[in-house]
């Protein structure tokens, strides 16, 4: 089956950590030999590459086309109007997708569109697929359902796209429950969680990894975009009650400056370290150097960082939201907490009072291979033939 994968979240040369779980899912499908694929990953149009424009300049530097390990990835541009453009973006994106798909159809036929993220991506795909008469699935990822659906018109467009789609794929039962609340057709929702690459994410020598990154204390790790939703500030505040611990924060985002100011205000500069985004292989080393991973998100679909951490033998302390309870179901994986600095601190201490063996944490992660998800997706995709 020849498919199109369409999503703004696909990694590119300038945003190498961007939606890497989508690329991973696709590569496992390709490895079966039953799927061939082309990727269209639209990028907002912006004319200037100067660092003065920060994130927008990054968009300008993304190439129109790139090849990633034999996979063709196209990056057509679509118009985004800051602040007021939320309702128009799906339509601008749909135009860019239509033009790109028509060019590709001169060379090959696509039997299915595999779209990721419901708004604006899924809505744009629905508009184009309706015109081109290509069946499609949309994968819900988290904030597209948990946050964007709070807005009336986007919610209506999301439901319209869902009704038109061959089906919706969700990464957790919690996300499915939210979709049912919104009015999705229950017969068209399919839960296929993210898996973990157990060959890549595995325990490395802890002492060597700590030494490489200059870490000396018991290490708490937090990875994610530096935005309010991820709760990094709550973990920093919790550090006041966690003497003897060091916190490593990996990521970039709009709150980096305010988080550093908070660290200074609380006199924690000697115990909180910030790292920029890291490659997958570097993350394996940092997970292995850490003693616990802390996730303080206000909501999540299915947080891949939890799976990555436990695969490296590092237990987690995670807020009891979204799909996290579906990952942390055993003390070997870690514990669930409420989203306050006090509960984070108490959760960390409770974890270390009954700390699981590293090999047991790794063994638990082996329940989350990609195999069952890959086979389920193949069956779902082939059913449309």
**Peptide bond before 120: cis, by omega within 30 degrees of 0?**
yes
| Domains of the chain: total | 2
Whether 137 and 226 map to the same domain: the answer is: no
Structure-block tokens of residue 357: 């063996």
Alpha-helix runs per DSSP H in the chain: 20-31, 55-61, 89-104, 123-132, 143-146, 152-164, 173-182, 206-212, 232-238, 256-265, 280-289, 304-311, 324-327, 341-353, 358-365, 371-382
**Number of other CB atoms surrounding residue 313 within 10 Å:** 24
Q: Indicate the pLDDT class of residue 83, thresholds 50, 70 and 90.
A: low
pLDDT score of 40 more than 70: yes
Domain containing 183 equals 2-195+370-382
In this structure, is residue 32 part of a structural domain? yes
Structure-block tokens of residue 336: 């669930």
pLDDT score of 13 more than 70: yes
Whether 144 and 247 map to the same domain: the answer is: no
Residue range 345-351: mean pLDDT, rounded: 97
In this structure, is residue 200 part of a structural domain? no
pLDDT score of 118 more than 60: yes
Which pLDDT score, from 0 to 100, does residue 69 have? Answer: 82
Whether 330 and 354 map to the same domain: the answer is: yes
Which pLDDT score, from 0 to 100, does residue 41 have? Answer: 96
In this structure, is residue 201 part of a structural domain? no
CB of 179 within 8 A of CB of 145? yes
Which pLDDT score, from 0 to 100, does residue 187 have? Answer: 95
- How far is it, in rounded angstroms, from Cα 266 to Cα 239? 9
Whether 377 and 312 map to the same domain: the answer is: no
Whether 289 and 156 map to the same domain: the answer is: no
CATH no. for residue 10? Answer: 3.40.50.2000
Q: Indicate the pLDDT class of residue 77, thresholds 50, 70 and 90.
A: very high
Structure-block tokens of residue 339: 């989203």
Residue range 98-116: mean pLDDT, rounded: 97
In sequence order, what are the residues at sequence separation of 6 or more whose Cβ sits closer than 8 angstroms to the Cβ of residue 97?
6, 40, 42, 76, 78, 124, 125, 128
Whether 172 and 252 map to the same domain: the answer is: no
Residue range 78-102: mean pLDDT, rounded: 89
Q: Indicate the pLDDT class of residue 59, thresholds 50, 70 and 90.
A: confident
**Residue 85 region by backbone torsions, left for phi larger than 0, else alpha for psi between -120 and 50, else beta:** alpha
Whether 72 and 213 map to the same domain: the answer is: no
In this structure, is residue 105 part of a structural domain? yes
Which pLDDT score, from 0 to 100, does residue 54 have? Answer: 61
Which pLDDT score, from 0 to 100, does residue 12 have? Answer: 85
- pLDDT tens by residue, 303-316: 889 999 999 999 99
- How far is it, in rounded angstroms, from Cα 146 to Cα 143? 5
In this structure, is residue 319 part of a structural domain? yes
Whether 54 and 90 map to the same domain: the answer is: yes
Which pLDDT score, from 0 to 100, does residue 348 have? Answer: 97
Whether 288 and 181 map to the same domain: the answer is: no
Whether 353 and 247 map to the same domain: the answer is: yes
Read off the pTM: 0.84
In this structure, is residue 90 part of a structural domain? yes
- How far is it, in rounded angstroms, from Cα 75 to Cα 59? 10
Whether 377 and 361 map to the same domain: the answer is: no
Whether 45 and 172 map to the same domain: the answer is: yes
End-to-end CA distance of the chain: 9
């Amino acid at each position: 089956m020849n498919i199109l994968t369409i999503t703004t979240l696909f990694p590119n040369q300038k945003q190498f950590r961007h939606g890497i779980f989508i690329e991973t899912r696709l590569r496992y499908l390709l490895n079966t030999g039953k799927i061939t694929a082309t990727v269209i990953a639209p990028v907002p149009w912006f004319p200037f590459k100067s660092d003065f424009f920060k994130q927008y300049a990054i968009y300008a530097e993304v190439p129109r086309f790139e090849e990633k390990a034999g996979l063709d990835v196209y990056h057509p541009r679509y118009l985004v109007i800051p602040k007021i453009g939320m309702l128009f973006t799906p339509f601008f994106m749909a135009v860019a997708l239509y033009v790109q798909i028509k060019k590709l159809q001169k060379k090959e036929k696509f039997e299915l569109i595999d779209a990721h993220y419901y708004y604006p991506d899924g809505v744009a795909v629905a508009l184009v697929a309706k015109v081109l008469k290509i069946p499609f699935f949309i994968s819900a990822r988290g904030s597209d359902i948990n946050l964007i659906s709070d807005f009336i018109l986007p919610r209506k467009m999301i439901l319209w796209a869902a009704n038109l789609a061959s089906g919706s794929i969700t990464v957790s039962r919690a996300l499915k429950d939210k979709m049912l609340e919104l009015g999705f057709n229950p017969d068209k929702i399919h839960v296929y969680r993210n898996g973990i690459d157990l060959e890549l994410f595995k325990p490395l020598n802890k002492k060597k990894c700590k030494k490489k990154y200059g870490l000396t204390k018991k290490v708490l790790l937090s990875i994610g975009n530096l935005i309010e939703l991820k709760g990094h500030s709550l973990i920093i505040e919790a550090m006041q009650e966690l003497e003897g611990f060091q916190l490593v924060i990996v990521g970039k985002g709009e709150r980096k400056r305010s988080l550093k100011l908070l660290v200074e205000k609380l006199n924690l500069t000697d115990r909180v370290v910030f790292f920029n985004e890291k490659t997958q292989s570097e993350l394996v080393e940092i997970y292995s150097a850490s003693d616990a991973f802390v996730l303080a998100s206000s909501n999540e679909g299915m947080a891949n960082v939890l799976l990555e951490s436990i695969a490296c033998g590092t237990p987690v302390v995670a807020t009891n939201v979204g799909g996290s309870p579906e990952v942390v179901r055993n003390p070997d994986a870690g514990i669930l907490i409420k989203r306050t600095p006090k509960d984070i601190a108490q959760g960390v201490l409770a974890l270390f009072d009954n700390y699981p063996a590293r090999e047991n944490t790794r063994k638990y992660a082996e329940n989350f291979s990609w195999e069952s998800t890959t086979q389920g997706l193949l069956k779902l995709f082939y059913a449309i033939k």
